[in-house]
Chain A
Amino acid sequence: MKNIALVEKMNDIELGEKSLQLRGDILKMLYKCQSGHPGGSLSCLEILMAIYYKTANVKADDPGFEQRDRVVLSKGHASPALYAILADLGFFDKADLMNLRQIDSHLQGHPDMNKTPGVDVSTGSLGQGISVAIGLALAAKHKKESYRVFTIIGDGEMQEGLVWEAAMAAAHYKLDNLIVLLDYNGLQIDGSNEEVMSVGEPTEKFEAFGFECFEVDGHDINAITQAINEPCIGKPKFIKCVTHKGNGISFMADQFGWHGKAPNKDEFEAAMLELGVN
């Protein structure tokens, strides 16, 4: 199965329905295991959808093929969003989602490349995903391969110095096969980015580091797709995706308290009712 073909058939309405279904899957997973990170999973869902359903060259029936585009979820705590998509695309059985974070599951709390088909890099320790992505992109150049490397970072994650070491190297080595997508929801565990540790204007910073920068509505799959497809030669690309934490569920939206908390029964039922999915 090659998802590009699958996606070409999906129109905007179908993509909208898909995002509701995937949100439902995320909530079911978190409710079932009573653990995990809903806020950031719901905020980066459309970013991952733009990658997996619109642009990336990946194959569910051959997850390790050499020419595939690499996807690195540097904000690894949003793994439920990634897992829901990988299951939807057929990388593994959808029933596995209900075993998230359980003792015998291949779905670890944070993505594990050695356990889960379709996960290119183990992530979770913030800052490391984008840094490994630098190595992947540089290795692709080294091998004279044309595949791309996508990495999704969080806004709190930008407080890690390693993100900027990685940004420096990306520009130095002119990694125009690297696309950094920022899930800019403005919130982190202890509060807003501004309160906890303000990082200033991320686009200006990445621009100063030598990136080609774009800003889009991070819940608009077409806008993200368009930014991904914009030509960019000799420079790494940065896309600031403006999002809402907990997007799609009214009582979770823009609430930092939903960073790492699973819904209880009433909350779960209310959320599923709001999504209108089973």
Chain B
Amino acid sequence: MGKSLRVAYGETLKVLGDNNDKIVVLDADLAHATMTNMFKESYPDRFYNFGVAEANMMCAAAGFAHSGLIPFVSTFALFGTGRAYEQIRNSISYTNANVKMGLSHSGLSVGEDGGSHQSIEDIALMRVLPNMTIFVPCDPIETRKATEAAMLINGPVYIRVARPVCEEITTEETPFIPGKANVMKDGKDVCIIATGLMVAEALEAAKLLKEDNIDAAVVNMHTIKPIDQDCILKMASQCKAIVSVEEHSVIGGLGSAIAEVIAGNSPVKFARIGIQDKFGISGKPKDLFEEYGLTAKNITSKCKSLIGESEK
């Protein structure tokens, strides 16, 4: 049985805190949801609650960073990147402040809370900011590695943390190098580039495609910024098509980042799977993935149709 990415995040914060007393954790009345309470229990004097006031928390985090401390800031992805956008922009990103934002409940997989709480634009918002690094871990182990890696970067980092419990699809041995995508499975017909919870769907899709004798590669793009251009272009040259998959709007996220790399560099066929310019709704995560086409089945059919087109 797996665990949720947010639990992995909370556990990691605690361990990082054990080894570095410069780490402080800031939350906006969601410590029991973002799992920063795991840090708080061990280090109450290094935990600061800002109440339901995300904008002030982001600026205050910059103040902590300017004072030589290493603040990890948590709230829901929507309220962190959305409500406090300009605070992140001017007080954190513009000054290159050493602030780590581990924001949970990202994407549709928030589920029942519905469209008002499902951030489907956060990657886009953070991606346009200079100095920003963006990690989207796919499982608990990778969440731990991403959180550890964030601490080693001197500058702002956004870690996009999903809410659901999920199985491990990477191992302790799987490398996590910021900016270097992991090829989970090589292939020559089509390349599925996925991020976050969609990596598991992509691996499943590759299995389904194999039944039809289609050799699909699967890339785990755990770092959205800086994006791994070399990996994308290599896949573009060895495969007939690329399909991106993300639990995020197709505008501005992983798909857009890949399109920016391909444009002008490769004639490869390319399609983006994600949320098609609309908001989420309430429902169980599994049902929502079905509704919005974020499934292995949909990835499979998109791959097939793209390959078909390329062979016309």
Residues of A within 8 A of B (CB): 66, 113-114, 120-122, 124-125, 127-128, 131-140, 142-143, 161-162, 165-166, 168-169, 172-173
**A132 contacts across to B, CB distance below 8 A:** 59-60, 62-63, 66, 91
Across the interface, do B56 and A162 meet the contact criterion of CB distance under 8 Å? yes
Known: A142-B24, A166-B56. A131 touches B87 (CB 8 A): yes
**B109 contacts across to A, CB distance below 8 A:** none
Across the interface, do B51 and A135 meet the contact criterion of CB distance under 8 Å? no
Across the interface, do A131 and B67 meet the contact criterion of CB distance under 8 Å? no
Q: Total number of A-B contacts with CB less than 8 angstroms?
A: 96
Q: Is B176 an interface residue (CB 8 A)?
A: no
CB distance from B136 to the nearest CB of A (A): 27
CB distance from A112 to the nearest CB of B (A): 8
Q: CB-defined interface of B39-78 with A at 8 Å, one 1/0 digit per residue?
A: 0000000101011010110011111111111010000000
Known: A125-B90, A134-B63. A169 touches B55 (CB 8 A): no
**A143 contacts across to B, CB distance below 8 A:** 67-69
Q: Can you identify 19 A-B contacts, CB atoms within 8 angstroms?
A: A121-B66, A121-B95, A122-B90, A122-B95, A124-B90, A128-B87, A128-B90, A128-B91, A131-B59, A131-B63, A131-B87, A133-B63, A134-B59, A135-B66, A142-B24, A143-B68, A143-B69, A162-B56, A166-B56
**B51 contacts across to A, CB distance below 8 A:** 168-169, 172
Known: A121-B66, A140-B67, A142-B69. A166 touches B59 (CB 8 A): yes
Q: Which 3 A-B pairs have the closest CB atoms?
A: A135-B63, A131-B59, A139-B67
Across the interface, do B55 and A139 meet the contact criterion of CB distance under 8 Å? no
CB distance from B247 to the nearest CB of A (A): 30
* Contact of B96 (CB < 8 Å), options: A114, A137, A165: A114
Q: How far is the CA of A132 from the CA of B94 in the complex (A)?
A: 13
**B91 contacts across to A, CB distance below 8 A:** 122, 125, 128, 131-132
Across the interface, do B64 and A135 meet the contact criterion of CB distance under 8 Å? yes
Q: How far is the CA of A137 from the CA of B24 in the complex (A)?
A: 14
**B96 contacts across to A, CB distance below 8 A:** 114
